[in-house]
Amino acid sequence: MILGVDLSYWQVSVLRSLGILVAVLLPAGTFVYVFLFKMVSFMQSRLGPMEAGPFGSMQLLAEVGKFLQKEDIVPERADRRLFKLAPYFVVGTVLLVYLAVPFGPDMYFANLKGGVFYILAVSSISSLGVLMAGWSSANKYALIGGLRAAGQLIAYELPLVLAVVGVIIQAGTMNLSEIVSAQAGGSIFGFDGIGNPYLLTQFIAFGIFMIAVQAELGQTPFDMPIAESELVTGYITEYSGLRFLLFFIGEFASAGAFAAVAATLFLGGWAVPAAWADLNSNWFNLFGPLIMLVKMMILGGLIFFVRFTFPRFREDQLQKLAWTVLIPISLVNILATTILKVAF
Amino acid sequence: MTAITDRQKLAYANAQAADGRVNIEFETDQGMTLNMGPQHPATHGTLRVIVKLDGEQVIDCEPVMGYMHRGYEKLTEVRTYPQVTTLVNRIDWLGSFANEVPFILAAEKLMDVQAPPRAQWIRTILFELSRLGNVSLFVGDMALHIGAISAAFYALRDREFVLNQIEAATGGRFHPNFDRIGGLKDDLPKGWIADTKACMNKIRDFCDEMETLVEGNEIFQARTRGIGVIPADIALQFGLSGANLRASGIDWDLRRDQPVGLAWNEVDWNVITHPDGDSFARFWVRLQEIRESTSIIDQLLDGLPSGPIMAKVPRIIKVPEGEAWVATENPLGEMGYYVVSKGDLGPFRTKIRTASFNNLSILPWVCRGVLVPDVVTILASLYFILGDIDR
């Protein structure tokens, strides 16, 4: 029963398959327009696209049309098969990440028991695509970019996992739907007026998670794999046309995906922070996705604000930051969470 | 299609051989050769840096110049003296007016002409304005190379104020072509002095903004401090000049140490030095020099003498026989012209000493052992203009 309409199993399945495409493309498109086109323009004292559509809102469609018309070039000495396959890995990863994220009590694509575990596992697949792209391009910049991405993976994956462990301990489950209801029905030291959004009680984990996400996405303080002033554009250097577009969509869609994951883990997901709200109400199937989108936009704004403000780290500095700062802090956070969990 | 002559074929073969020689030298050893340029975002122009890598560590690096050689030294020989300023404008295209001044001064020295005081003061003001236009872009450019995009836009935005002032006075935003033998083309327009003072306030605000946004940023400091350290003695050996030399702790500024008749000695200002000699020091010195320049301009505007802006010079300029060398402290460093005259309408031979060419020669020394991102940091902090290297 979704929104009072009785649907058979296959109808629900078709709706969910179509829904995941919407879930990937809609936030990605919104992110590109709101953050890449407009927010950055206002930050840099310019207007951004203004010609295509009202306030340039159709600019993205124009860009897609442009990329579709471009020639699909494969370098002569490239490993053709890997080269053509790589962008699909990057985009496919985003689809897999969205699979486990709930957008309402019944608005999910798959209600996985180990949802958090699953997301952390599949999110690394995109690095494989990046490495493939870097290696198969037969370009030294691309190769260095791909290897940097692989090296970065080791540095940020561990803090990412350790940050999430705090949330898992507090919620007592790895299922994302249950984490959402744990936040909505929780209490902060006895006060349960707004539930317990883990942003308030797991703020250290939230900070580490967002830093690690920044690295996972390859956004600016950690954009060494792309590093446009050093490596031209790193692993994307040789791509053009549709395949470049796929990388581009992948970049912004995965920003949306991780904003969705962070919103679910730390901001209460599709629920509102109010104890009186009935979480099983059908209205949340309708408004849950919208609430999610708002929370994703807030987190996306954070990600892109940092991206357009900060300079870039060096690869070794990222490793140093991860191993000497982020991992010890997240271990301490886990310890503190465990003690408090047992004590209260 | 036009037929390819033997001569063109030969030139092509020679170019290939020269290219091959450079590459073979690097490929025979173990390690990877990375060709940064001639088209590369960090070389902002057509500089080519061949970097030999072990992993990401630079073992050896060699700058290859000459992709934008335009033969200005030779071209001056077929131009008359007033026409040469049009050419030399294009050497350092961000600080164009500063290129004209030393050449005109050299010609004046040969002719034994002195520009009237007002002309000298306005020259100095425009000289410093072109320094602002040049160096303020460096500040944004350095941040851009380290990865902060927004700072570059702030630099472009605020440089516009300076360019507007240059345009208001000379009629040209990038290439004023305003300096004449014996004085200047025109006097300053009405209201220009007040506008320029307002502009100087904006530039000082820009400096404050950059100090908090870029210089105070921990990531920026981590990326620049201790990277590309040039000790004072090495800097002298490689013939560095300008801010690169002062960042190594050497107190040397031609504006103060080699007066050429311009008005720097009339006002009160300091030469900025920094003892560290690393990329951060070079950034810091340039940023402080922007502040110093604004104060110089403010003082010059206050004390601007009245009088004519042109000395008495003949209609057709013939420079008497002789040789003259004049160097000034340009935005990029020491720039000088050695002009040889045989008494004709144009110079017989001109040697142009540009700062970037010498500043870049230290690159192989300073890049040894650093990582690839640091090569970009060092390139950005040494600050060159391709036109100034290849001329």
pLDDT digits (tens, 9 = 90+) for B27-78: 545 677 787 877 777 777 788 888 888 777 888 888 888 888 888 888 888 8
Residue B374: list chain A partners with CB under 8 A: 314
In a domain, B136, yes or no: yes
Residue A141: list chain B partners with CB under 8 A: 34
In a domain, B377, yes or no: no
For residues B26 and B310, the model is more confident at B310
pLDDT of A131 above 80: yes
In a domain, B7, yes or no: no
Q: What are phi and psi of B184, to 5 degrees?
A: -130, 165
- In chain A, the residue whose alpha carbon lies closest to the alpha carbon of B141 is A229
In a domain, A297, yes or no: yes
Contact B373 A308 (CB under 8 A): no
In a domain, B54, yes or no: no
Residue A221: list chain B partners with CB under 8 A: 147, 219
Domain span at B244: 80-358
**Counting Cβ atoms within 10 Å, is residue B212 exposed (0-12), middle (13-18) or buried (19+)?**
exposed
What's the ipTM?
0.79
Cβ–Cβ contacts within 10 Å for residue B193, how many? 14
A139 vs B: CB within 8 A: no
Quick one: pLDDT band at residue B1, thresholds 50, 70, 90?
very low
Q: What are phi and psi of A57, to 5 degrees?
A: -70, -20
B118 vs A: CB within 8 A: no
DSSP state string for B316-362: S--PPSEEEEEEEEETTEEEEEEEEE-SSSS-SEEEEE-HHHHHHTT
pLDDT of B22 above 70: no
Residues B72-95 have a mean pLDDT of 87
B373 → closest Cβ in A43, A310, A314: A314
Asked if omega into A159 is within 30° of 0 (cis), the reply is no
In a domain, B279, yes or no: yes
A311 vs B: CB within 8 A: yes
3-state secondary structure of A5: strand
Residue B135's CATH number: 1.10.645.10
In a domain, A131, yes or no: yes
For A12-45, the pLDDT digits (tens) are: 788 878 888 887 888 888 888 888 888 888 888 8
**How far from chain centre, in Å, is Cα B259?**
19
For B95-134, the pLDDT digits (tens) are: 888 888 999 999 888 888 888 889 989 999 999 999 998 9
For residues B137 and A188, the model is more confident at B137
**pLDDT value for B345:** 84
The number of distinct structural domains making up chain B is: 1
In a domain, B203, yes or no: yes
Contact A229 B153 (CB under 8 A): no
Residue B214: list chain A partners with CB under 8 A: 311
In a domain, B379, yes or no: no
Mutate which of A312, A313, A316, A318 to disrupt the B interface (most B C-beta within 10 Å)? A312
**pLDDT value for B28:** 46
A 190-249 near B (Cβ less than 8 A):
220-221, 223-224, 227-232
In a domain, A27, yes or no: no
Domain span at A93: 74-343
pLDDT of A335 above 50: yes
For residues B18 and A11, the model is more confident at A11
In a domain, A317, yes or no: yes
B 65-104 near A (Cβ less than 8 A):
none
Q: Kindly report the average pLDDT of chain A as a whole number.
A: 84
In a domain, A143, yes or no: yes
In a domain, A57, yes or no: no
pLDDT of A128 above 70: yes
Highest mean pLDDT among A60-64, A104-108, B42-46: A60-64
The number of distinct structural domains making up chain A is: 1
